[in-house]
Amino acid sequence: MKNQVITSKDVHLFYGKFEALTGIDLDFNEHEITAMIGPSGCGKSTYLRILNRMNDLIPGVKITGEIRLENQDIYAPDTDVVALRKRVGMVFQQPNPFPFSIYDNVVYGLRLAGVKDRATLDAAVEASLKQAAIWDEVKDNLHDSALSLSGGQQQRVCIARVLAVQPEVILLDEPTSALDPISSTQIENMLLELRDQYTIIIVTHNMHQASRISDKTAFSFKVGWSNSMTRKKMFLNPKEKETEDYLSGRFG
Ligand SMILES: Nc1ncnc2c1ncn2[C@@H]1O[C@H](COP(=O)(O)OP(=O)(O)OP(=O)(O)O)[C@@H](O)[C@H]1O
Ligand SMILES: [Mg+2]
């Protein structure tokens, strides 16, 4: 059986009085890609941000339940959040390179961690850009601004930036939705290559993408409304009737 890298039990999240997550149980295995799909507003981004404590930055958020990374409670008071975010890296929907060179983008996290040795940084840049399947396109222009690249190239540089700090888990929130089909395919193929080394969790609205690249799919749907609160459940490899309906486009 594969090692469960992340486990979460009965996770609730409140934005003020609004309960955006209503008791989520989800586990993620190492060396697997788990896709998360579900209708807009069902809490996919909210759940993803829980896993590296990005919601901590939003005022008025309250989280209950248990979330463990390699059996360590990531909401324990003594958790080093900066170290956590190194272990659990995140890629967003819109490519968000810093307004620096490609090289400086990729080594950003390493420099923050105090790495100064040029040869170490050079090696990390080459290895990360190769893993992100963009080395050949940029190797002669590493000192050009990352902002001069296309959207698809920028997204792969952002992925290289995450890989450079050698995370265990990579969270991707709709990483290809702003990209053309060729760039999306490049990123999908890259994720399939990376799967052997990482635990990958990807939010996508594209069910074809989910079925192409994921080992498992976590699915969320809404059923009705009560007291303006959404009732929902998430499943792994769902078998329920509603899930079938959603997947076949009859619901959602
Ligand atoms: N910072 C916030 N403050 C208050 N409510 C929020 C905040 N962020 C999200 N929400 C609410 O929480 C719910 C879940 O939002 P979330 O962004 O996680 O959905 P999502 O599944 O990622 O949707 P989408 O597919 O559109 O990206 C929504 O009702 C949203 O309005
Ligand atoms: Mg979202």
The chain-wide mean pLDDT, for the chain, equals: 87
Q: What is the mean pLDDT of residues 39-56?
A: 92
Q: Tell me the CA distances in angstroms from 101 to 86, 122, 142, 170, 226, one per residue in order.
A: 21, 13, 7, 23, 50
Question: What is the distance between the alpha carbons of residues 16 and 228, in angstroms, rounded to a whole number?
Answer: 14
In the block, residue with structure tokens 């698809």: 152
What order do you get walking across the sheet with 18-29 strand by strand? 18-29, 4-15, 61-69, 72-73
Residue 74 CB coordination number (10 Å)? 20
Secondary structure letter of residue 213 according to DSSP: H
Are 175 and 93 contacting, i.e. CB atoms less than 8 angstroms apart? Answer: yes
Question: What is the structure's pLDDT at 249?
Answer: 55
Secondary structure letter of residue 145 according to DSSP: B
Q: Identify residue 116 by its one-letter amino acid code.
A: K
224 pLDDT band, cuts 50/70/90, is very low
Q: What is the mean pLDDT of residues 28-46?
A: 90
- Ligand 1 pocket test, pick from 44, 56, 220 with the greatest ligand atom count within 8 Å of Cβ, gives 44
| 168-177 pLDDT per residue, tens | 999 999 999 9
Q: Under CATH, which number does the domain 4-247 receive?
A: 3.40.50.300
Neighbours of ion ligand 2 (CB under 5 A): 45
With a 6 Å cutoff on the Cβ, whether 56 touches ligand 1 is no
Helices (H), the chain: 44-50, 81-87, 102-106, 108-112, 118-131, 135-138, 151-164, 181-194, 207-213, 241-247
| 125-144 pLDDT per residue, tens | 999 999 999 999 999 999 99
23 pLDDT band, cuts 50/70/90, is confident
With a 6 Å cutoff on the Cβ, whether 37 touches ligand 1 is no
Q: Which atom of ligand 1 is nearest to the CA of 43?
A: 18
| 60-104 pLDDT per residue, tens | 999 999 999 998 999 999 999 999 999 999 999 999 999 999 999
Question: What is the structure's pLDDT at 228?
Answer: 21
pLDDT above 90 covers a percentage of the chain that reads 71
- The residue whose C-alpha atom lies closest to atom 24 belonging to ligand 1 is 40
With a 6 Å cutoff on the Cβ, whether 247 touches ligand 1 is no
Query: What pTM was estimated for this model as a whole?
Result: 0.89
Nearest CA-CA partner of 179 in 144, 200, 209: 209
Q: Does residue 140 sit in helix, strand or coil?
A: coil
